[in-house]
Chains A and B, each alone.
Chain A
Amino acid sequence: MIKRSFFTLTQPRLNYDLVEPDPKEPTSIPIPTDLILLLNEPIDSTKDTLIKKGNKVEKGEKLYLYADSTEYTISPVAGTISSLDVYSDNLGNRSTSLVIKSNQAQSDSITYDLKETIASADEYLRTLPGAPPLERLASDDNEINTLVITCGDTDLLSTTNQYVALKFLNDIKKGVQVLKTITTATKVYVTVPENSPLQGGLEPLQVFKTSMAYPSNLPAMVLKNHLNLVLPAGKTPEDMGVCFIAAEAVVSLAKAYQTKSAGFEKIVTIIDKQGNQHRAKATIGTPLRNIFNAFSIQVSEQDRIIIGGPMKGFATFTLEHPVQPDMDMVMIQDREDIPEISDTPCINCGKCLQTCPVNIPVNILVRYLEAAQYEEAADKYDLEACIECGLCAYVCTARIPIFQYIQLGKHELFKLRADA
């Protein structure tokens, strides 16, 4: 954990980690007997599910929960479905978890009838490693005219995207060709961390060098610093016609179009309790327990498993949490290292104001959020302008969980507006 330095006249500087110049091959995690897939659709007890316990599935087979579902997942192995359960995330959104018993026999993936259209890509490739935002690109809501390929990682400590970009430079170029053909985008940019070992080789694509200081890789900051666009409060980059795609997604897209089948090998950065970095290659659906075992990381009672990163990630409650297409990093924090939070009121010290990259009046905002005044918070104190970097809660002297209040506030505000 990065602590405050003794002299802190200026705001803290948290730097992104860099991938080592000549990275070695990631540790391959063997395909486990039980894989877990998350399907972004809740179980409806009144309807009959298509997926049933005991069903046989092929490697690469698309799985729908109901006949009229639009959400799907793809089985990364050939095997049998052994259970179907409800999964709810930390905001209470419900989805379905499937357990697939792998039959361990080596088999080839199903090949798809992939056409060079975005609709066809969206039909088969949504769950590729790196989670390409195909659904967003395929939707008619906004015309996407700019693509930004991010060869940096959005959160601290993770080096997954940098590693993929460094190793598979040619696949990125091929992937960009695919994207240019299947989407309406006319402009494609690439972001590369400024001190990254990846220098050059991306021509003729236009490269943006992003600063090493967090949160320069967040979409809103890239828009502001490199595209001179200001993200309006409550809008997404897609609303402005800009779509961000992780380098890993571009690489897997290129491979998918080459082989006409989906890939399932996800690169994950693992940070152990001592802060050492490991890199693993695991099949989507592998429970985290298997990865920890492979690196002999001991997980004990009250430790914290963090998925996504120390600033923006989320903590999981189970060691069975599966590797997912967008899971770039997993870190484990010893119970002794977990910082305390408190219910002390804001003391108005102003450190959050100094550190906020978008100048939100956090000190006032948090008072409204504590009082559950979400609409006032959004109207007067710019709740929706938050780009969710987590720096305010990181520096808070009173140790208020500000970021949690902000996310709760946005969630409640969304519900209020949906009800209105």
Chain B
Amino acid sequence: MNNIKLTVSHAPFWHDGDSLFQMNLNIMIATLPVVIFAIIQFGAPAFGVLSLSLSSAMIWELIMNLVSKKRISIGDLNSAVIGLLFGMMLPATSPWWLIVTGTFVAVVLGKMIFGGIGSNPFNPTLVGMAFLMLSWKVFFDFDAAYVNYDFDFTALAPLAALKLQGAAAVTDLFPLGDLIMGRQVGAIGATFGLGLIIGGIYLILRGYIRWEISVSFILGIIVTAYCFKLANPEIYAGPMIHLFSGYTLMGAFFLATEHSSSPANRIPMFIYGFCAALMIILMRNIGVYADGTVLAILLLNLVNPLIDTIRPKTLGKGGNNA
């Protein structure tokens, strides 16, 4: 009798074929329109920043894997996504040490010390970003960063200008078409609004990010900014400037939607997205920061476990303690 060895494992014996590698690869594909546009607009320095950021993030994870004697996990591309998004949030002229330090904080302090993928309470990219913004504020002055560039559009960072001069003075400088088509000064991956929207819609249709967060986030920006504008149109700009400048659209499609730091139930997703957007506009209009996206999303990451307890009642569960 030929006794062959069979594979024995547990049901279900099928899988829909999705994997972390697929998911992260698709997120990277979704950034392509913006990345290609940025390299055309800002040239080789942008390419350098993105490459160094992506590779250093992966190397930091590899080092942490080796130090902690764990299975090498960079193959799931999670660090690559963190690095890529990190690079997209920097000005094209960032020095190399800034990038390497930032990805260290993002990957090591933001993700690996909590136990790696899935265990991070905060979006790792934003942890790294917040660290840099508080430590080396001067490198995030986009007006200074692009002083040697010669643009054929208003070479003025919209949000900083808004903060300094008020809405009435700057609204005409930034026509909506320019903002959407990336004719503005800003971080590498945050200027091309149309590209970000295309990437975001791609991810939503593929099911890799949750539309509830993105939609409520954008809705939150529009509603809150509109309310401020109604209160005082001289100082506060309208929703469109806020939506298409700074990190807003990156936040809506790539940052707020990071899985482990955002809610997974439907109602909490709406609350999370809307409140993050509300905080952004509050920070921009009342706070001291020109762009509050980073800190606003981090703040909502903090309350995420609390709001994610609002969940539908399980079928068959007694009582109303859902």
Asked if chains A and B come from one complex, the reply is: yes
Contact status B14-A350, CB under 8 Å: no
Contact status A9-B204, CB under 8 Å: yes
Any B CB within 8 A of the CB of A200: no
Residues on the B chain within 8 Å of A360, using CB: 314
Give the interface SS of chain A, mostly helix, strand, loop or mixed: loop
Contact status A8-B116, CB under 8 Å: no
Any A CB within 8 A of the CB of B10: yes
Contact status B16-A403, CB under 8 Å: no
Given the complex of chains A and B, what is the CA–CA distance between A88 and B70 in angstroms?
35
Any B CB within 8 A of the CB of A347: yes
Query: Hey, what's the 0/1 contact readout for B195-234 against A, CB within 8 Å counting as 1?
Result: 0000000001111001100000000000000000000000
Given the complex of chains A and B, what is the CA–CA distance between A307 and B205 in angstroms?
36
Q: Contacts A344-B118, A345-B119, A398-B118 given: A304-B317 contact, CB under 8 Å?
A: no
Residues on the A chain within 8 Å of B265, using CB: 350, 353, 361
Number of chain B residues close to chain A: CB under 8 A: 46
The stretch among A66-74, A205-213, A228-236 that forms the contact with chain B is A228-236
Query: Hey, what's the 0/1 contact readout for B5-19 against A, CB within 8 Å counting as 1?
Result: 111111111111111
Q: Contacts A233-B316, A348-B118 given: A4-B17 contact, CB under 8 Å?
A: yes
Given the complex of chains A and B, what is the CA–CA distance between A338 and B14 in angstroms?
8
The stretch among A24-32, A241-249, A277-285, A308-316 that forms the contact with chain B is A308-316
Interface extent on A, as a size class? Answer: 35 or more
Contact status A358-B316, CB under 8 Å: yes
Given the complex of chains A and B, what is the CA–CA distance between A235 and B315 in angstroms?
12
Contact status B210-A350, CB under 8 Å: yes
Contact status B13-A232, CB under 8 Å: no
Any B CB within 8 A of the CB of A49: no
Q: Contacts A230-B315, A358-B316 given: A345-B115 contact, CB under 8 Å?
A: yes
Residues on the B chain within 8 Å of A363, using CB: 264
The A-contacting residues of B in range 266-284, CB under 8 angstroms, are none
Any A CB within 8 A of the CB of B41: no
Say which residue of A304, A313, A357 sits within 8 Å of B6 (CB atoms): A304
Q: Which of B5, B7, B19, B318 has the most CB of A within 10 A?
A: B7
Residues on the A chain within 8 Å of B206, using CB: 6-8
Contact status B316-A394, CB under 8 Å: no
Q: Contacts A318-B6, A347-B260, A398-B118 given: A233-B314 contact, CB under 8 Å?
A: yes
Contact status A398-B20, CB under 8 Å: yes
Q: Count of A-B contacts with CB under 8 A?
A: 188
Given the complex of chains A and B, what is the CA–CA distance between A79 and B96 in angstroms?
83
Q: Contacts A311-B11, A394-B15 given: A359-B313 contact, CB under 8 Å?
A: yes
The stretch among A117-125, A185-193, A261-269, A295-303 that forms the contact with chain B is A295-303
B255: min CB distance to chain A, Å = 15
Given the complex of chains A and B, what is the CA–CA distance between A308 and B11 in angstroms?
10
Any B CB within 8 A of the CB of A53: no
A291: min CB distance to chain B, Å = 15
B136: min CB distance to chain A, Å = 31
Residues on the A chain within 8 Å of B17, using CB: 1, 3-4, 339
Any B CB within 8 A of the CB of A114: no
Any B CB within 8 A of the CB of A335: yes
The B-contacting residues of A in range 28-43, CB under 8 angstroms, are none
Given the complex of chains A and B, what is the CA–CA distance between A317 and B9 in angstroms?
9
A215: min CB distance to chain B, Å = 11
Given the complex of chains A and B, what is the CA–CA distance between A344 and B118 in angstroms?
8
Contact status B16-A385, CB under 8 Å: no
Given A310-B11, A338-B9, A399-B19, 15 other A-B residues pairs in contact with their CB atoms under 8 A: A2-B14, A4-B17, A4-B207, A6-B206, A302-B7, A314-B11, A315-B8, A319-B6, A331-B13, A344-B73, A344-B76, A359-B313, A397-B20, A398-B20, A398-B117
Q: Which residues of B contact A (CB under 8 A)?
A: 4-20, 22-23, 73, 76, 115-119, 204-207, 210-211, 259-260, 262-265, 311-318
Q: Which residues of A contact B (CB under 8 A)?
A: 1-4, 6-9, 12, 90, 220, 224, 230-233, 235, 299-306, 308-319, 331, 333, 335, 338-341, 344-351, 353, 357-361, 363, 382, 385, 390-391, 393-399, 401, 403-404, 407
- Please list 11 pairs of residues, one from A and one from B, whose beta carbons are closer than 8 Å in the complex, sorted by A's number: A8-B207, A12-B16, A232-B316, A304-B9, A315-B9, A315-B10, A350-B259, A358-B316, A382-B316, A395-B16, A403-B11
